[in-house]
Amino acid sequence: MSEALPSRVRVVEVGPRDGLQNEPQALGIAERIQLCEALVASGVRHLEVGSFVSPKWVPQMAGTAEVLAGLGRPAGVVRSVLVPNMKGFEAALAAGVEEIAVFAAASEGFSQRNINCSIAESLARFVPVVEGAQAAGIRVRGYVSCVLGCPYDGGIAPDQVASVTRELLELGCAEVSLGDTIGVGTPGRTRALWQRLGREVPLSQLAGHFHDTYGQALANVYASLLEGVAVFDSSVAGLGGCPYASGASGNVASEDLVYLLDGLGIASGLDLPQFIEAGHQVSAQLGRRNESRVGRARAARALD
Ligand code: HMG
Ligand code: MG
């Protein structure tokens, strides 16, 4: 168990994908590009722009190729997209992204509902995808969903999470992000999970992906920092959820994460005021409440 906090954290901004994929109102291509540009201007260097999945399953992500084309290639930015199969990979390759993300689950119930196949089938499907990406020099990220609980299967054994994580790394993923998809985890269980995973794989290849359904996401980030985890996914304005996890709320809000990191003296390279601006802008476009507590607090103070 490590108690020294990392001095630097890499934040993977997933708002344009994990956030927007679950908004009832699909944001237009121009607004999606504008959001990505605002995030890059806030210092984001690792940006999940969208996904190449079936538009029948997730209509909000249709047009990801156009978003990538409109955004161009901002210097120093890794643009990532979710890819479930070869069809998605071919679209990602044509779009010229720097990274793809394949996504598996620690629970059979979620795997079936999310990607319509078993965990083993999904891993087999990823083999040619990862090979193709490696041949093209594209970095591969992996996701494991439901690491602290599943909306269909309930509790998930940490051993199962460790096994899927190890398989994704063995397949060739450079990094695996562990998703508390329905936000049920608490800091004690989160720490225990990292300790279990750390016995099997290097923690330096793992990332934390916490949804905030039960208000535990930031506490779980802190618990993970104490274990030495130094990569976190977050969503501007706390956008989103998951279309296959009903009632799940968005990821930890990026603004709240940056406020926490700034407060701890941990470098992230992100600019809080610009991030807050981006969060207000996209919340207004979607006609929804800004789910970042920091964003709301700063807006209230501006009215004083
Ligand atoms: P399927 O129906 O089993 O696939 O779906 P299929 O191969 O039988 O194809 C059916 C149709 O989809 C065909 O079109 C294909 O061409 C098309 P049709 O002939 O009917 O017109 N299709 C595609 N179209 C575009 N891009 C593709 C693609 N593949 C097939 N790549 C499939 C299987 C995986 C495609 C489907 O289940 C799907 O797209 N699911 C979406 C999953 C998704 O995006 N979930 C949300 C992201 S995961 C998440 O949020 C969790 C995460 O945040 C971590 C966490 O919080 O835990 C990452
Ligand atoms: Mg997610």
Residue 140 belongs to some domain of the structure: yes
The percent of residues above 70 in pLDDT, for the chain, comes to 97
Checking if the pLDDT of 290 tops 90, the result is yes
Residue 195 belongs to some domain of the structure: yes
Counting every residue written for the chain, the total comes to: 304
CA atoms within 13 A of residue 220's CA, in its CB half-sphere: 33
Residue 118 belongs to some domain of the structure: yes
- Residues designated as active site: 242
Residue 4 belongs to some domain of the structure: no
Q: Identify whether the C-beta of residue 178 lies closer than 8 Å to the C-beta of residue 216.
A: no
Pocket test residue of 20, 54, 153 for ligand 1, highest count of atoms within 8 A of CB:
54
Backbone angles phi, psi at 210, to 5 degrees: -110, 120
Q: Identify whether the C-beta of residue 103 lies closer than 8 Å to the C-beta of residue 85.
A: no
Residue 236 belongs to some domain of the structure: yes
Going by CA atoms, what residue is nearest to atom 53 of ligand 1? 18
Centroid of ligand 2 to alpha carbon of 268 (angstroms)? 21
As a whole number of angstroms, the distance between CA 31 and CA 216 comes to 30
Q: Side chain identity at 136, as an amino acid letter?
A: A
Neighbours of 75 (CB within 10 A): 7
Query: Please, what's the b/e burial string for 283-303 (b: 16 or more CB within 10 A of its CB; e: otherwise)?
Result: bebbeeebbbbbbbebeeeee
Which atom of ligand 1 lies nearest, measured to the CA of 211? 56
pLDDT for the residue 245: 66
Which atom of ligand 1 lies nearest, measured to the CA of 145? 57
Centroid of ligand 2 to alpha carbon of 178 (angstroms)? 9
Centroid of ligand 1 to alpha carbon of 163 (angstroms)? 24
Residue 72 belongs to some domain of the structure: yes
Q: For residue 262, what are the contacts with CB-CB under 8 A and spacing of at least 6?
A: 268, 272
Q: Side chain identity at 101, as an amino acid letter?
A: A
CA distances to 58, 107, 162, 281 from 149, rounded to whole Å, are: 23, 8, 14, 33
Q: Which of 43-57, 114-128, 146-160, 232-246 shows the lowest per-residue confidence on average (mean pLDDT)?
A: 232-246
pLDDT for the residue 167: 98
Going by CA atoms, what residue is nearest to atom 10 of ligand 1? 54
Checking if the pLDDT of 304 tops 70, the result is no
Going by CA atoms, what residue is nearest to atom 14 of ligand 1? 54
Checking if the pLDDT of 2 tops 90, the result is no
pLDDT for the residue 247: 73
Number of folded domains that form the chain: 1
Average pLDDT over residues 70-99: 98
Which atom of ligand 1 lies nearest, measured to the CA of 177? 54
Question: Cα dihedral angle (23, 28, 31, 35), rounded to 10 degrees?
Answer: 40
Specify the 3-state DSSP secondary structure of 181: coil
Residue 5 belongs to some domain of the structure: no
Residue 2 belongs to some domain of the structure: no
The ligand 1 site (C-beta within 6 Å) comprises: 18, 21, 51-54, 57-58, 82, 84-85, 87-88, 103, 114-116, 143, 145, 179, 181, 209, 211, 242-244
Q: Which two tokens stand for residue 296?
A: 């709301």
pLDDT for the residue 266: 98
Q: Tell me the per-residue pLDDT of 134-175, one tens digit each, with 9 for 90 and over.
A: 999 999 999 999 999 999 999 999 999 999 999 999 999 999
Checking if the pLDDT of 9 tops 60, the result is yes
- The CATH number of whichever domain residue 207 belongs to comes to 3.20.20.70
As a whole number of angstroms, the distance between CA 198 and CA 218 comes to 21
CA distances to 45, 197, 217 from 7, rounded to whole Å, are: 17, 22, 20
Handedness of CA 179, 120, 228, 98 (dihedral sign): negative
Q: Exposure of 180 by Cβ count < 10 A (0-12 exposed, 13-18 middle, 19+ buried)?
A: buried
As a whole number of angstroms, the distance between CA 21 and CA 146 comes to 18
pLDDT for the residue 242: 63
As a whole number of angstroms, the distance between CA 152 and CA 257 comes to 29
Average pLDDT over residues 14-40: 96
Confidence tier at 300 by pLDDT (50, 70, 90) = confident
Q: Tell me the per-residue pLDDT of 205-252, one tens digit each, with 9 for 90 and over.
A: 999 999 999 999 999 999 999 999 999 999 999 998 666 667 778 999
What's the DSSP call for residue 231? E
Centroid of ligand 2 to alpha carbon of 262 (angstroms)? 24
Q: Which residue has the tokens 């954290």?
A: 9
Checking if the pLDDT of 13 tops 60, the result is yes
pTM greater than 0.85: yes
Going by CA atoms, what residue is nearest to atom 11 of ligand 1? 54
Q: Exposure of 139 by Cβ count < 10 A (0-12 exposed, 13-18 middle, 19+ buried)?
A: middle
Checking if the pLDDT of 3 tops 80, the result is no
Confidence tier at 40 by pLDDT (50, 70, 90) = very high
- Residue 79 belongs to what domain range? 10-303
As a whole number of angstroms, the distance between CA 186 and CA 177 comes to 17
